């Protein structure tokens, strides 16, 4: 074949191939149609992605703007709360005493509400503590008690001394007595709701757990658990070889009981199983509290306070300083631990390392009971027939209330102080 003929054949083949390609593209074979579909879907997704990103950017900008406004409002609120009280901020400054009394009589529900909020919101707590109205009410109330112008209200029903008091988060007040009963009171109006019977000797210790159930310890060596709803008896915890003088419940539900047998027993709340026995004290364990960090503090007649791990019960440290028996313990909202004893002193300890911060002096006889108010004030009851009110931050003595010696103290959510008297009275007192 000649070269010219070969070129003609080659050109014919190329033309045939081009024609085939043209037919394939014009006819949209299945493979090409699938590629086009994927390209179209990809384009739609990218468009949607862009729209979503624009929405996200807009929402982030709005969030940042709101955060800036919140920070600004918080700063303004803190400035107002911490500003000194003035006549402009305190409208009650201009009211005559008679009108002021009439106004304050109408505020118990507001006080109850603010007290409950203090447990929930620390910022609201600081606001309420700094409220000039609330501060005026508290100062006026305790000044009136101190001057003898008013007397605490007596809730009658027990036939023997009130040894122990506990406050429920639902506002119920519980009192344990030498008459072997526990009485449940309405915290708002003081009416008696029910009487719990079961112990065969004096009820020495009471505490309410995070589940709302009540725990009671007695001279009969037992601990009883009662329903916070209807007061029904749920179970009895038995194991101590002597009287049960103190109780505490941790946020994890563990129940701690201190006894005249010098031990602390740990129980599981839901079924009452005995978990552990903490040994170390050499005399009666008269006081128990659980710190904000979960650590357990025990006060003993061996003059020491021992700190135990809330997780496994190991001994962490021993706080030494009291020269007499340790009768009572309390925990502040700032984590401080307060202890009172037969040496007439109240000692203030730092919770995280046990350092002694301060010693409050003023009582002239044994300190028998301690309580910390929602406003941070410290209340102490003594055999010198006084209840003293101390400033929580600097320990300054604010008021001295004279009344028969006390065995127990508790502060309710609405700010009322409850105290149990000694043998001179069988009443539960409301301040």
357-409 pLDDT, tens digit each: 999 998 989 999 999 887 788 999 888 888 899 988 888 898 888 876 567 88
Give yes or no for residue 197 having a pLDDT over 90: yes
Q: Place 20 in a pLDDT band, splitting at 50, 70 and 90.
A: very low
Q: Of 199, 195, 92, 138, give the one whose Cα is nearest residue 374.
A: 138
Q: Of 304, 298, 268, 274, give the one whose Cα is nearest residue 285.
A: 298
Compute the 3-state secondary structure of the chain and give helix, strand, coil in percent, each to the nearest 5. 30, 35, 35
CATH fold of 152-430: Methylamine Dehydrogenase; Chain H (2.130.10)
In this prediction, residues 92-115 reach a mean pLDDT of: 46
CA separation for the pair 332, 318 (Å, rounded): 19
For 277, the token pair is 């026995």
pLDDT at 90: 45
Alpha-carbon distances, residue 396 vs 93, 333, 392 (angstroms): 25, 17, 8
In this prediction, residues 217-230 reach a mean pLDDT of: 94
Q: Place 283 in a pLDDT band, splitting at 50, 70 and 90.
A: very high
Q: Which residue has the higher pLDDT, 340 or 411?
A: 340
In this prediction, residues 90-119 reach a mean pLDDT of: 45
pLDDT at 333: 80
What does pLDDT average to over the chain?
A: 79
Q: What is the pLDDT of residues 328-362, one digit of tens each?
A: 999 988 889 999 999 999 999 988 888 999 999 98
Q: Place 107 in a pLDDT band, splitting at 50, 70 and 90.
A: very low
pLDDT at 19: 46
First to last CA, the chain: 128
CA separation for the pair 346, 367 (Å, rounded): 7
In this prediction, residues 25-53 reach a mean pLDDT of: 76
Cα-flanking dihedrals φ and ψ of residue 321, to 5°?
175, -35
pLDDT at 320: 94
pLDDT at 108: 42
Report whether 340 contacts 369 (CB < 8 A). Answer: yes
Half-sphere exposure of 274 (CA within 13 A, CB side): 13
pLDDT > 90: what percent of the chain? 40
Q: Place 30 in a pLDDT band, splitting at 50, 70 and 90.
A: low
pLDDT at 405: 57
Cα-flanking dihedrals φ and ψ of residue 199, to 5°?
-70, 150
Please give the model's pTM, rounded to 2 decimal places.
0.68
Provide the residue ranges of all domains of the chain, joining segments of one domain with +.
Answer: 1-83, 85-150, 152-430
Who's near 124: CB < 8 A, 6+ residues apart?
114, 117, 118
Give yes or no for residue 293 having a pLDDT over 80: yes
CA dihedral 388, 414, 197, 379 (to 10 degrees): -10
In this prediction, residues 155-167 reach a mean pLDDT of: 90
Q: Place 180 in a pLDDT band, splitting at 50, 70 and 90.
A: very high
Cα-flanking dihedrals φ and ψ of residue 44, to 5°?
-65, -45
Q: Which residue has the higher pLDDT, 137 or 21?
A: 137
């Amino acid at each position: 074949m000649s070269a010219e003929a070969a070129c003609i054949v080659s050109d014919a083949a190329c033309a045939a191939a081009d024609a085939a390609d043209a037919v394939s593209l014009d006819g949209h074979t299945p493979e090409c149609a699938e590629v086009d579909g994927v390209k179209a879907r990809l384009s739609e997704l990218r468009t949607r992605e862009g729209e979503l990103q624009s929405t996200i950017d807009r929402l982030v900008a709005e969030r940042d703007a709101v955060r800036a406004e919140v920070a600004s409002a918080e700063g303004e609120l803190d400035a107002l709360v911490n500003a000194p009280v003035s006549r402009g901020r305190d409208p009650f400054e201009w009211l005559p005493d008679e009108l002021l009394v009439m106004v304050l009589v109408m505020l118990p529900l507001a006080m109850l509400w603010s007290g409950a909020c203090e447990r929930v919101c620390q910022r609201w707590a600081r606001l309420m503590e700094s409220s000039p109205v609330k501060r005026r009410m508290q100062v006026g109330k305790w000044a009136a008690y101190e001057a003898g112008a008013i007397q605490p209200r007596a809730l009658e029903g027990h036939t023997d001394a009130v040894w122990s008091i506990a406050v429920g988060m639902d506002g119920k007040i519980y009192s344990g007595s030498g008459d072997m009963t526990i009485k449940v009171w309405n915290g708002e109006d003081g009416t008696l709701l029910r009487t719990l019977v079961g112990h065969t000797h004096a009820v020495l210790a009471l505490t309410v757990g995070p589940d709302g159930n009540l725990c009671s310890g007695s001279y009969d060596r037992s601990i009883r658990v009662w329903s916070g709803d209807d007061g029904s008896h749920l179970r009895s915890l038995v194991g101590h070889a002597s009287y049960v003088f103190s109780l505490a419940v941790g946020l994890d539900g563990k129940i701690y009981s201190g006894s005249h047998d010098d031990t602390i027993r740990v129980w599981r709340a839901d079924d009452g199983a005995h978990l552990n026995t903490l040994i170390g004290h050499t005399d009666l364990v008269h006081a128990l509290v659980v710190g904000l960090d979960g650590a357990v503090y025990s006060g003993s007649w061996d003059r020491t306070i021992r700190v135990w791990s809330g997780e496994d019960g190991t001994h962490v440290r021993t706080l030494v300083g009291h020269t007499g028996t340790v009768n009572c313990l309390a925990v502040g909202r700032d984590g401080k631990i307060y202890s009172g004893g037969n040496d007439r002193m109240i000692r203030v300890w730092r919770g995280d390392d046990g350092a002694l911060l301060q010693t409050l002096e003023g009582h002239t006889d044994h300190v028998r009971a301690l309580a910390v108010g929602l406003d941070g004030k410290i209340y102490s009851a003594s055999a010198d027939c006084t209840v003293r009110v101390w400033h929580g931050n600097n320990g300054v003595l604010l008021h001295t209330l004279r009344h028969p010696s006390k065995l127990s103290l508790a502060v309710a959510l609405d700010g009322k102080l409850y105290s149990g008297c000694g043998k001179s009275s069988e009443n539960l007192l409301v301040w």
